[in-house]
């Protein structure tokens, strides 16, 4: 049996999305910037996708900027905040995605931007009291950048609470929502977040395409220059068929959201129960075993010791998952997230991130549990 439990890394394309992209590549090959009918048809496809995504998020279409993915969207947002909006201070955390952390480092180096990190609880959750103290303690223009769902330990940020807090203290709020878009209902009319980032391949859409949301009251300067595409926000011919595929994937996810949430949550709960049965001393990183405080998609499991080449052994049995420590990931640095929330001894133990989708089955969970039982004995 082959089991794909690495959906937090990327998801398989939805069959309907594959079909739609193939059709659009064949019939809608025009350049959206061309004035002839081929270009107009392509432009219409792009703008229809923009309207569809905006409708799902309850925002204006001109607040959606298509990018090559979540990392570009995060980079575009953060650099614009400093270069265009005059942000002098960024509040973030040590467990953000590297697309955020590395850009913040670059902004600090280039513009001497002040950087403050929030305190985290022992489970990696943001200390909201400390966040408020940081917001109170400045007269500088400030941006808060905190991810909605942590990509490694699945912790859920109380998005509206943080957005309201930022609004109270007149700070901008950016959230990397790559792990949340199309998995949770995000109402941008109700949640006063200023900027979010998304990537299609996290919700059964194509790779190499995503979007940034920016409130229209804030101007934007492009990272990529050389053309006036995306209303001047991003140069380069639009990835027409992938944009259409992303919009369709989003629509399909929203259509079945409650059903898919219930189904995948059941898979995760069942997996947790079975793990506890076969490994009584198993631990879970962050809040990932708490279905109310973590994403229903992801589970970060920590075993009681280091198990050499565990991911490789799982792969040999047909099971795809991700590592969470240096010895599992093949990186000499290991997981910066686990290092931030665990003691050095605990961080060296074998951690595996299993992440699920609506295309997974209980039979796959049973098979994985059986293999783990064999490998751990």
Instruction: List for the chain the helix, strand, coil content (%; round to 5).
Output: 45, 15, 40
The token pair at 141 is: 């223009």
The token pair at 346 is: 């605990």
- Does residue 263 contact residue 358 with C-beta atoms inside 8 Å? yes
Rounded (10°) angle between helices 15-27 and 240-255: 150
* Catalytic (active site) residue 327: yes
Whole-number Å distance between alpha carbons of 95 and 150: 8
Active-site annotation holder among 59, 116, 166, 327:
327
- DSSP character for 155? B
Q: Where are the beta strands (DSSP E) in 194-281?
A: 195-199, 210-214
The token pair at 167 is: 């609004």
Please name every residue paired with 156 in a beta bridge, in sequence order, or none if there are none: 149
Q: Where are the beta strands (DSSP E) in 42-117?
A: 64-67, 89-92, 114-117
Mind telling me the catalytic residues? 327
């Amino acid at each position: 049996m082959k089991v794909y439990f690495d959906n937090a890394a990327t998801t398989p394309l939805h069959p309907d999305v594959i079909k739609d992209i193939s059709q659009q590549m064949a019939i809608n090959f025009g350049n959206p910037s061309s004035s002839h009918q081929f270009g107009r048809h392509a432009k219409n496809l792009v703008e229809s996708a923009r309207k569809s995504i905006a409708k799902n998020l309850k925002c204006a279409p001109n607040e959606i900027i298509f990018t090559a993915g979540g990392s570009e969207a995060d980079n575009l947002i953060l650099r614009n905040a400093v270069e265009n909006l005059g942000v002098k201070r960024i509040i973030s955390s040590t467990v953000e995605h590297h697309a955020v952390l590395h850009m913040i480092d670059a902004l600090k180096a280039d513009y001497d931007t002040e950087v403050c990190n929030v305190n985290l609880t022992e489970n990696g959750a943001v200390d909201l009291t400390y966040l408020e103290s940081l917001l109170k303690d400045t007269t500088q223009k400030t941006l808060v950048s905190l991810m909605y769902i942590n990509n490694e330990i699945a912790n859920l940020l109380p998005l509206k609470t943080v957005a309201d807090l930022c609004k109270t203290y007149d700070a901008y709020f950016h959230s990397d929502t790559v792990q949340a878009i199309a998995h949770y209902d995000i109402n941008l009319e109700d949640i006063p977040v200023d900027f979010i980032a998304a990537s299609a391949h996290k919700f059964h859409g194509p790779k190499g395409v995503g979007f940034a949301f920016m409130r229209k009251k804030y101007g934007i300067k492009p990272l990529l220059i050389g053309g006036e595409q995306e209303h001047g926000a991003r140069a380069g011919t639009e990835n027409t068929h992938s944009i259409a595929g992303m919009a369709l994937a989003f629509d399909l996810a929203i259509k079945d959201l409650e059903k898919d949430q219930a189904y995948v949550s059941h898979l995760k709960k069942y997996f947790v129960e079975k793990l506890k049965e076969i490994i009584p001393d198993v631990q879970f990183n962050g809040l990932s075993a708490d279905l109310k405080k973590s994403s229903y998609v992801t589970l970060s499991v920590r075993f009681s010791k280091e198990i050499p080449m565990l991911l490789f052994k799982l792969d040999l049995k047909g099971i795809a998952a991700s590592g969470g420590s240096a010895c599992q990931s093949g990186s000499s640095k290991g997981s910066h997230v686990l290092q931030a929330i665990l003691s050095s001894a605990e961080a060296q133990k074998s951690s595996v991130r299993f992440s699920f989708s609506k295309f997974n089955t209980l039979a796959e969970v049973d098979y994985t549990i059986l293999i783990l039982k064999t490998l751990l004995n």
